[in-house]
Amino acid sequence: MTDVVADPELDPTATYAVDPTRARRLASRVVAGPGAEQHLSRTPMTGAPLASLPVSTPEDVQVAIGTARAAQRSWARLSIERRGEVLLRFHDLVLERQVELLDLIQLESGKARSSAFEEVADCAIVARYYARSAADHLRDRRVRGGIPVLSQTVVSSHPKGVVGIVSPWNYPLSLAITDALPALMAGNSVVLRPDQQSSLTALAGHELLLEAGLPEGVFQVVLGPGASTGQAVVDQADYVCYTGSTRTGRSVGQAAAQRLVGFSLELGGKNSMYVAADADVPRAVAGALRACFASAGQLCISAERLLVHRDVYGEFVTRFVDAVEAMRLGTALEYGYDMGTLVNQGQLDTVTRHVEDARAHGAVVLTGGRPRPDVGPFAYEPTVLTGVTAEMACRDDETFGPVVSLYEVGSDDEAIALANDTEYGLNASVWTRDVRRGRRIAAQIQTGTVNVNDGYAAAWASVAAPMGGMKASGIGRRHGREGIVKYTESQNVTAQHLVGIGGLPGVPDDTYAAGLTLALRAMKRLGLT
């Protein structure tokens, strides 16, 4: 059985309380009217209360949008260098205040501290990247005009205006803040609606941005249910960035498209990790532990399918099951645990349903397969299944929990086919000693990111490259040039000199057409674009 580390604080009556004064200060930043309805948030570690936070109405969202729109104009007039200075100060503050941030992340999400640290590192990496690369991504570009020399064309990028971000609970710091950073660098203002489960962490990130020098009004936070508060953001922002389920993402996309505003969506996944015949098995086992069970599997890019070549299947399974059973489960606010807890009863119900459905249809539980109330009210053991077939819900549906299915494959082609046999296309992982082989396999997998000899973090942390989903896993990308240009409107300004494009005064149309035909042929011979 999985080793459980006793936590003296895990008393069902105990409260992992956020200091009330601190909570009130954070809550004061929420855009909500006097006498607003209050939402009591609880920690999944024990179910104990965390804080009471106001709920923003759709009318409050309208106020937030108006404030952000007014503040955006002066923010956009600042040089991109000045905006970058804010992000670099934010970078330093995130690292300096990481203990408090880690506590909040854990208290709201239930994840282990090592998984929480990924969010702190992610915020710092993204802040530094866009602070130092945005000028290059957004600079005016001179491109070839219709007639060389005579047509002088410049392409410029202008901010969209107010960017609305609707973020989920599973990465309460990263997904609330890192999408906002490029939007701000591009000269936009932001209205954020974080999930109610993770509001304190988002507000703490917002507070650090203000401390770093972000002007008041440029970044507004509203809190409340997705169906009301979140929908109001979608219905009023000039661009929408949403991370969450595919079902809700379709509705968000429809609502934004109806208004003819742009949107990006990172949605669900059913991600595969392939262990090839020549893989370093011990290294692949260590990678699989992290790929499958980081944040208790509540990660859009985590692996829920392990595809293992038959030549190494027996060794891999033995080593992997042993490693899973040695994992340390716990919910203390300290390092030393491998996995924490699920976030709420709904997630626990889904995980339990998927495992029991698989059992009922003949799957074998190699390890795990049961709740762990001794760890926390929503904790569930890291679980490894084999014999999973198409009639089982966990074969194709996203579990979003610490459950992984093993599949034995006989070739790279079989692994590629199985990895692609899903409506999703978010992330994948390939393990092989031959990196060139890994890249060839990766090119045939239909996902937005593929990691070779890593589970998910290598591609995720490579923020100069785009990240996002194919198929039902989303539209658009975060990170890289695409992650900031999406928040802008491109404008083509062309100055025409000496002669016009549509003809010359006093020159017959047929003569003009014949001359232009000669010119076009000449441009092709000269290799011009």
> What pLDDT was estimated at residue 5?
35
End-to-end, the C-alpha distance of the chain in Å comes to 65
> Which tops the pLDDT comparison, 70 or 24?
70
Q: Is the pLDDT of residue 169 over 80?
A: yes
Q: For the segment 441-468, what is each residue's pLDDT rounded down to a tens digit?
A: 999 999 999 999 999 999 999 999 999 9
Q: Is pLDDT of 432 > 50?
A: yes
In whole angstroms, give the CA distance from residue 417 to residue 421: 6
pLDDT in tens, 126-165: 999 999 999 999 999 999 998 888 899 999 999 999 999 9
| Residue 83, pLDDT score | 98
C-alpha dihedral, 81 to 83 to 85 to 88, nearest 10°: -120
Region(s) of the chain under CATH 3.40.309.10? 271-463
Is the pLDDT at 66 greater than 50, yes or no? yes
Check: CB of residue 428 under 8 Å from CB of residue 274: yes
Nearest to 226 by CA among 187, 208, 189, 252: 252
266 in catalytic set: yes
Choosing from 266, 304, 381, 398, the catalytic residue is: 266
Mean pLDDT of 202-219: 98
Q: Write out the residue limits of the CATH 3.40.605.10 domain(s) in the chain.
A: 14-32+44-267
Q: What is the pLDDT of residues 278-317, one digit of tens each?
A: 999 999 999 999 999 999 999 999 999 999 999 999 999 9
Backbone phi and psi for residue 276, each to the nearest 5 degrees, phi listed first: -75, 170
- Give the pLDDT score at 9: 41
Q: What is the pTM of this model?
A: 0.94
Measured distance CA(240)–CA(234) in Å, rounded? 6
Band of residue 3 on the pLDDT scale cut at 50, 70, 90: very low
pLDDT band at 502 (very low <50, low <70, confident <90, very high): confident
Measured N-to-C along each axis, helices 199-211 and 98-109 cross at an angle, to the nearest 10 degrees, of 160
Class at the top of the CATH hierarchy for domain 14-32+44-267: alpha beta
Residue 443 CA from chain centroid, whole number:
22
What is the percent of the chain where pLDDT is above 90?
A: 89
pLDDT of residue 529: 80
Nearest to 264 by CA among 240, 285, 281: 240
Q: How far apart are CA 422 and CA 428, in angstroms?
A: 12
Cα–Cα distance between 379 and 387 in angstroms, integer?
24
Which numeric CATH code is attached to 271-463?
Answer: 3.40.309.10
With CA atoms as reference, report the closest residue to 341 among 388, 277, 402: 402
Candidate list 300, 381, 394, 398, residue with the active-site label: 300
Q: Residues 250, 453: contact at Cβ < 8 Å?
A: no
Q: Averaged over 197-201, what is the pLDDT? A: 96
Kindly calculate the radius of gyration of the chain based on its CA atoms and give it in whole angstroms.
26
Q: For residue 95, give the 3-state DSSP assignment.
A: helix
Name the pLDDT band for 501 (thresholds 50, 70, 90). confident
Distance from C-alpha of 276 to C-alpha of 432, rounded to nearest angstrom: 6
Reply yes or no on whether the pLDDT at 14 is more than 50. Answer: no
> Is pLDDT of 512 > 80?
yes
Report d(CA 486, CA 192) in Å as an integer.
17
Summarize the confidence of residues 379-385 as an average pLDDT: 98
- What are the percentages of helix, strand and coil residues in the chain, rounded to 5? 45, 20, 35
Within its chain, how far is the Cα of 210 from the centroid? 23
pLDDT band at 17 (very low <50, low <70, confident <90, very high): low
Mean pLDDT for the chain?
A: 95
Q: State the pLDDT at residue 504.
A: 82
Q: How high is the pLDDT of residue 10?
A: 37
pLDDT in tens, 180-191: 999 999 999 999
The predicted pLDDT at position 20 comes to 82
The pLDDT assigned to 120 comes to: 98
Short-list 486, 489, 464, CA closest to 474: 486
Question: Considering only 42-51, 74-83, 223-232, 289-298, which range has the smallest mean pLDDT?
Answer: 42-51
- Percent of the chain, pLDDT > 70? 97
